[in-house]
C-alpha cells in the first residue's frame, strides 16, 4: 500500500480561531476555524458500482472531536483533468454519491467533460463500522463535526487539484458540510465553485431544532413550509453531534434550552463568513421537495453578499440525483462554472 501521508497541522496564526464554546455569543471577526490533519493512504476500491480509478482512506484528526476515517473514490478522465469535483451524499453521507438513482450519470458527465470526479464517503461500502460525518463528535456539534469535510477538501486541493480548479457539490446534509466549510473554515480559499442541492437543510440550526419561525412560502412550489426539520430528521442527522439528543428533545418539548449553542453552530452564526468574492455558490432545489431544506437553503443564500444563483428542477425530489433531469443539471452547472478562480479587483 502506497502511503500519501500529509499533515496539515494547525493553520498559520492568521487563521487560528478561539473556538465558540456552547452558549457563547462572542463574535470571532470571521476568522476561520482551525482545520485538522490528514494521514492518507491508497487503498483498493470496493467491488461493485462504478469502477473507480483510485481510492483513498484519509484518517482525519480535528480539534474537539474524535478521529475519523473518510474515504475517497475517484474517477479520472482519459486526458489530464481540467478540474476536480467532489460529490457528497446527504444524510450521514455513509454511502457513495453514485448510489443515487442517477448519481452515476452526474459522475460520468463530469468525467466525459474532462473532470476528475471524487466521491467523499464516511462509511459504506468501504467500512461498515463508522456511521456518519456527525458522529463521534464528543457532543461538540455540527460545526465542529464539519471540520472533517473541510480538512478533506483542503487535502484534495493540495494533493489532487494543485494546478486546476476544485469545485464541490453536495446534496442536503452534503451541502450542509460545504456551507459550514465556507462559513467557518475558509473553504472559499480552496473552491472555485460550489453547487448545493436541497439545502443546506439546517443553515439555521436553531430554527431547525426549535419552533421559532412561522411557515414561509417555499421557493419552488410556493407551498408554506417552516424551518424545523422534524423530530425524525433531528434524531437521524443532528442529534448525533450533540449530547443526549438535544435537537429532537427541543422539538418534541417545544423548548429552547439549547438555542444559543445551535445558533453558534449554524452556517448563519453571528461570526459566519458570508462573502466569497473569488467564487460563485449556486443552489439547486427540487420542485417536489416538501422538506424545510429549501427555506433553509434560501435563508443562507439570501445572506451571501457575493455571487449566487438559485434554480428549481420541477420534477426532482429532495434527493436531486434521483431525478435524471436533476443529475444532468448538476453536471451541466459544474461543467459551466468550474473554472479557474477569479480574483476581486
- In the block, which residue shows the cell 501521508? 5
C-alpha triplet 339, 340, 345: angle, nearest 5°: 120
pLDDT of the residue at 29: 55
Each residue of 283-307: pLDDT tens digit?
A: 999 999 999 999 999 999 999 999 9
pLDDT of the residue at 128: 85
How far is 296 from 218, CA to CA, in rounded Å?
A: 10
Residue 264: HSE in the Cβ half-sphere, 13 Å Cα cutoff: 18
User: How far is the CA of 244 from the CAs of 54, 82, 164, 269, 326, in angstroms?
Assistant: 39, 46, 43, 22, 37
C-alpha cell at 337: 462554472
Of 188, 180, 172, which Cα lies nearest the Cα of 236?
A: 172
The per-residue pLDDT of the chain, averaged, comes to 91
Domain-wise residue ranges, the chain:
73-337
- 181: β partners: none
Each residue of 218-243: pLDDT tens digit?
A: 999 888 999 999 999 999 999 999 99
pLDDT of the residue at 340: 81
Q: Are 17 and 34 a contacting pair, CB within 8 Å?
A: yes
The mean-pLDDT minimum among 21-25, 62-66, 255-259 falls in: 21-25
Give the H/E segment covering residue 84: strand 83-88
**Domain 73-337: CATH architecture, name and number where available:** 3-Layer(aba) Sandwich (3.40)
Q: Are 198 and 175 a contacting pair, CB within 8 Å?
A: yes
Helix (H, G, I), strand (E, B) or coil at 101: coil
How far is 164 from 154, CA to CA, in rounded Å?
A: 14
Residue 194: HSE in the Cβ half-sphere, 13 Å Cα cutoff: 30
Each residue of 71-122: pLDDT tens digit?
A: 999 999 999 999 999 999 999 999 999 999 999 999 999 999 999 999 999 9
Give the H/E segment covering residue 75: strand 68-75
Residues near 70 by beta carbon (within 8 Å), at least 6 away in sequence: 57, 58, 60, 120, 121, 122, 148, 149, 152
How far is 112 from 345, CA to CA, in rounded Å?
A: 34
Q: Are 118 and 152 a contacting pair, CB within 8 Å?
A: no
Each residue of 263-286: pLDDT tens digit?
A: 999 999 999 999 999 999 999 999
Of 186, 181, 190, 179, which Cα lies nearest the Cα of 157?
A: 190
Of 153, 175, 42, which Cα lies nearest the Cα of 97?
A: 175
First-residue to last-residue Cα distance in the chain? 46
- Is the pLDDT at 255 greater than 60? The verdict is yes
pTM of the model: 0.91
Amino acid at each position: 500500500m502506497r502511503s500519501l501521508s500529509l499533515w496539515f497541522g494547525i493553520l498559520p496564526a492568521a487563521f487560528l480561531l478561539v473556538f465558540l464554546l456552547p452558549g457563547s455569543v462572542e463574535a470571532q471577526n470571521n476568522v476561520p476555524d482551525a482545520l485538522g490533519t490528514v494521514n492518507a493512504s491508497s487503498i483498493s476500491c470496493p467491488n461493485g458500482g462504478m469502477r473507480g480509478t483510485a481510492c483513498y482512506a484519509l484518517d482525519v484528526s480535528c480539534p474537539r472531536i474524535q478521529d475519523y476515517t473518510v474515504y475517497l473514490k475517484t474517477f479520472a478522465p482519459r486526458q489530464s483533468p481540467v478540474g476536480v469535483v467532489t460529490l457528497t451524499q446527504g444524510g450521514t453521507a455513509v454511502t457513495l454519491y453514485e448510489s443515487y438513482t442517477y448519481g452515476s450519470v452526474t459522475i460520468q458527465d463530469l468525467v466525459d467533460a474532462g473532470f476528475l470526479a471524487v466521491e467523499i464517503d464516511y462509511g459504506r461500502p468501504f467500512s461498515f463500522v463508522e456511521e456518519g460525518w456527525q458522529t463521534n463528535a464528543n457532543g461538540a456539534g455540527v460545526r465542529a463535526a464539519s471540520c472533517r469535510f473541510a480538512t478533506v477538501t483542503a487535502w484534495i486541493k493540495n494533493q489532487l487539484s494543485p494546478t486546476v480548479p476544485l469545485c464541490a457539490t453536495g446534496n442536503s446534509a452534503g451541502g450542509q458540510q460545504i456551507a459550514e466549510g465556507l462559513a467557518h473554515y475558509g473553504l472559499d480559499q480552496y473552491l472555485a465553485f460550489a453547487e448545493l442541492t436541497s439545502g443546506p437543510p439546517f443553515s439555521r440550526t436553531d430554527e431547525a431544532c426549535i419552533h421559532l419561525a412561522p411557515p414561509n412560502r417555499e421557493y419552488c412550489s410556493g407551498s408554506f413550509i417552516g424551518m424545523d426539520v422534524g423530530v425524525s430528521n433531528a434524531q437521524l442527522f443532528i442529534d448525533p453531534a450533540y449530547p443526549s439528543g438535544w435537537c429532537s428533545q427541543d422539538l418534541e418539548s417545544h423548548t429552547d434550552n439549547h438555542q444559543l449553542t445551535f445558533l453558534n453552530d449554524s452556517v448563519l452564526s453571528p461570526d459566519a463568513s458570508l462573502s466569497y468574492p473569488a467564487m460563485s455558490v449556486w443552489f439547486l432545489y427540487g420542485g417536489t421537495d416538501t422538506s424545510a431544506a429549501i427555506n433553509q437553503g434560501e435563508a443562507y443564500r439570501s445572506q451571501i453578499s457575493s455571487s449566487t444563483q438559485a434554480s428549481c428542477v420541477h420534477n426532482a425530489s429532495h434527493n436531486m440525483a434521483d431525478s435524471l433531469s436533476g443529475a444532468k443539471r448538476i453536471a451541466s452547472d459544474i461543467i459551466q462554472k468550474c473554472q479557474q478562480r477569479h480574483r476581486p479587483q
